Structure 1
Amino acid sequence: MDSVTQAALGAAVAGVVAGRQCSPKVLLAGAALGTLPDLDVLIRYGDPVSDMVKHRGFSHSLLVLLPFSLLLTWLWQKIRPSQNGLSFNRLWLLIAGCLMTHPLLDAFTAYGTQLLWPLPVSVAVSSIFIIDPLYTVPLVVMVLASLLWRRKMAKLCGIGLAISGCYLLWSVVALNIVESRVEQQLANTPLAERPVFITPTPANTVLWRIVVLDGETYWEGLTSLLDSDPTIDFIAKERGQWPWDEKPKHLQMLEQFTHQFVKYEQDGDALLATDLRLGIVDYLPFRFVLAHQTAEGSWMAEHPVQLESPNVRPKHLPALWLRLLGNQDINADLCHVKECPLPPLKSGV
């Protein structure tokens, strides 16, 4: 999630744990602790693919943050033993809560979070977008309100956590509804056993994007919980294949990170790989040049280069809003049907 959300979450957690000892300084400390795991973005691993794959790694691991919180608690008690007003156990619970709720929230997004690093386990529930005001606003409002009504700081922070927590729970319920809808439609079709990826579109949990892998093709569709007709109009798009027998290590890293949800394409003499999970329709921000073709026609791996993200076309913003409200007539405009080689997939194909 974004830094504002994580700071607000950390402040709210700190306020609840501190209870009567809550103060503006406690909220500020909680906000700082809540954003601390994301400082790993300052680490450069040598190339954009490694930076992407290794983000949310050791700094988001519960196996690292738990002992780190104990260390911070011990240091704070040793440096300022009489100025925090909290027992060692309460202070440890506060620090651990602020640090560990950060990766736990991140795990609900589509990116993937290595909660058990160094074990090769990445958790991505994919029920909430990386920026969702409906989750963030209750936290921010209640934290700010607690600064005005200081006698009720802990209570107000708790209310913010409860509202946002209910919204997060709803996102999981909504994901299950969409998963059931997709499963029913793909049953008895050639795509019944194909890998499926489902994620909410930006800043909401009503309109969802579905991607289904099908060899050198992938099918993409949008479905809204407000649709009168639950049938999803899937559009077939070219996924391509890697034309070189050898797979560079960066491509292997990307395929493992995305669970094979990668698009391959050749642009001139360059070979590109694109993460199909993150983004929407043709606005896929994680596109990398991984190899180029020599004058002799052979392929050669090169240092990965991330391409600039395509600009969102203004006309698509109101279209997305209308699609969220259940207008299924604009699917073609959003999915660029003219670029698709195959007709929409219907249940029973």
Structure 2
Amino acid sequence: MDSLSQIVLGAAVGNEVLGKKIGNKAILYGAIIGTIPDLDVLYGKFLDPLTATDIHRGFSHSTLFFLFLSPILGWILQKVAHKKGVNFKEATLFSFLILQTHSLLDLFTTWGTQLLWPLETRFSLQSIFVIDPLYTLPFLLFLILSMKKSRLDQKRRFWNRTGLIVSTSYLFFTLLVQSIVLQKFEKQLDLNKISYQEIVVKPSPFNIILWTTNVKVENGYYIGDYSFFDTKPIQFQFIPTQNELISNIEDAAVIEQLKRISEGWYCITQKENQLFFNDLRFGVMNTDKNDMHFSFSYQITKENGEIKATELPNKNRAQAKKLLGKLWVRLQGN
């Protein structure tokens, strides 16, 4: 999830564990510790961009790392707050719960987490976009209400727990909505007599009303979207995998790395004799079959006999605003 959501979650968990002893300092310490797993973005700056993408939400989001780091943070916190009666065990539990809930929250997003590192499997429920105001804003409101109460006031814990319950309930609600949408897509695929190998369903940015799907078939993918305000049948667009375009370089290390990053959800396109590896997990920004744009694309080049991949730059602000406008129109129904 986005940084604000993780800060609020860390602050609320910290408030729940030690708020009665150290008051709003528990919120401050929780907010700080809640950002630690995402520091992989910083050390990724010292790596090549592709490797930085590969390791994101990997080791730094694993339970093994949290078990190692929590006693260290607990020792530091116990030294800082021992005058308030905070012992090492409490401080270690405080740190572990904040770190672990950070990773569990990311589990609900499309990117997912390598929770059981060193296993390579990434766990991803894909039921919530990385920024969702309906998750973050109510949570933040309840946290602020809790902060306004003294550490011994019963209402402080009431408001904090309410925020935790409401935000967690919303996460599980997204799973329910996702299952309903999945049935909608599966029904339409059946009506269209499309036989498929795998299907994923995920929300569009900032909401859980408009959903998209990637459907893997033998030689490509069908993509489609569905809004709860739709009145017409779901339409699917076919995207060929076109693996034949990279058949002579498929064993190159960078191609294998891209396949691992995309978790097998990719297609190859060619434009003006240039090859592009497109990660399909995060959708298509422009569905025009003659000028298709993907959220993440990498240009494949050969330099001095070595195969390299360069990520295409993000769209500028004007294009992003245009895309958001299209998203809003589409959300209102087909």
Q: What is the TM-score when the length of structure 2 is the normalising length? A: 0.87
Report the CA distance between 1:125 and its aligned residue. 0.5
**Paired residues for 1:122-133 under 5 Å:** 122-133=122-133
- The answer for the alignment partner of 2:295 in structure 1 is 285
**Paired residues for 1:58-77 under 5 Å:** 58-77=59-78
Q: 1:318 to 1:272 in 2, by over 3 A?
A: closer
Q: Tell whether 2:176 aligns with 1:166.
A: no
- 8 Å Cα contact 1:290-1:301 kept in structure 2: no
Report the CA distance between 1:92 and its aligned residue. 2.1
CA deviations on 1:112-158 (whole Å, 9 max, x unpaired) are 21001111121011000011111111221122222323333332221
- The answer for the alignment partner of 2:249 in structure 1 is 246
- The answer for the alignment partner of 2:268 in structure 1 is 264
Separation of aligned partners in 2, 1:199 and 1:41: 24
- The answer for the alignment partner of 2:6 in structure 1 is 6
Shifted more, 64-73 versus 210-219: the winner is 210-219
Q: 2:311 aligns with which of 286, 294, 306?
A: 306
- 8 Å Cα contact 2:75-2:91 kept in structure 1: no
CA deviations on 1:92-111 (whole Å, 9 max, x unpaired) are 22111111111111111001
Separation of aligned partners in 1, 2:82 and 2:15: 19
**Paired residues for 1:90-105 under 5 Å:** 90-105=90-105
- The answer for the alignment partner of 2:290 in structure 1 is none
Separation of aligned partners in 1, 2:47 and 2:74: 34
- The answer for the alignment partner of 1:196 in structure 2 is 199
The aligned amino acid for 2:74 is: T
Report the CA distance between 1:19 and its aligned residue. 4.3
Report the CA distance between 1:32 and its aligned residue. 0.4
Separation of aligned partners in 2, 1:53 and 1:82: 40
- The answer for the alignment partner of 1:338 in structure 2 is none
Q: What stretches of structure 1 of length at least 5 have no aligned partner?
A: 295-299, 329-349
Separation of aligned partners in 1, 2:26 and 2:197: 49
Q: Tell whether 2:61 aligns with 1:56.
A: no
% same residue: 33
Report the CA distance between 1:315 and its aligned residue. 4.6
Report the CA distance between 1:214 and its aligned residue. 3.4
Separation of aligned partners in 2, 1:84 and 1:126: 41
Q: 1:293 to 1:62 in 2, by over 3 A?
A: closer
The aligned amino acid for 2:95 is: I
Q: What stretches of structure 2 of length at least 5 have no aligned partner?
A: 287-292
The aligned amino acid for 1:146 is: S
CA deviations on 1:188-227 (whole Å, 9 max, x unpaired) are 6553223222110001111101122335543211101233
- The answer for the alignment partner of 2:227 in structure 1 is 224
Separation of aligned partners in 1, 2:275 and 2:145: 52
- The answer for the alignment partner of 1:344 in structure 2 is none
Report the CA distance between 1:250 and its aligned residue. 2.0
- The answer for the alignment partner of 1:297 in structure 2 is none
SS at match of 2:184: helix
The aligned amino acid for 2:23 is: S
Separation of aligned partners in 2, 1:190 and 1:146: 54
The aligned amino acid for 1:144 is: I
SS at match of 2:295: coil
Separation of aligned partners in 2, 1:21 and 1:279: 46
Q: Tell whether 2:216 aligns with 1:209.
A: no
SS at match of 1:83: helix
- 8 Å Cα contact 1:271-1:292 kept in structure 2: no
Separation of aligned partners in 2, 1:131 and 1:313: 15
Q: What is the TM-score when the length of structure 1 is the normalising length? A: 0.84
The aligned amino acid for 1:114 is: Q
Separation of aligned partners in 1, 2:3 and 2:193: 42
Separation of aligned partners in 2, 1:200 and 1:146: 31
SS at match of 1:274: strand
- The answer for the alignment partner of 1:321 in structure 2 is 328
Separation of aligned partners in 1, 2:320 and 2:8: 31
Cα RMSD (Å): 2.3
The aligned amino acid for 1:323 is: R
- The answer for the alignment partner of 2:117 in structure 1 is 117
Separation of aligned partners in 1, 2:264 and 2:122: 14
SS at match of 1:285: strand
Report the CA distance between 1:259 and its aligned residue. 2.5
- 8 Å Cα contact 2:19-2:27 kept in structure 1: no
Q: 1:51 to 1:315 in 2, by over 3 A?
A: closer
- The answer for the alignment partner of 1:143 in structure 2 is 143
Report the CA distance between 1:293 and its aligned residue. 8.8
Q: 1:155 to 1:55 in 2, by over 3 A?
A: same
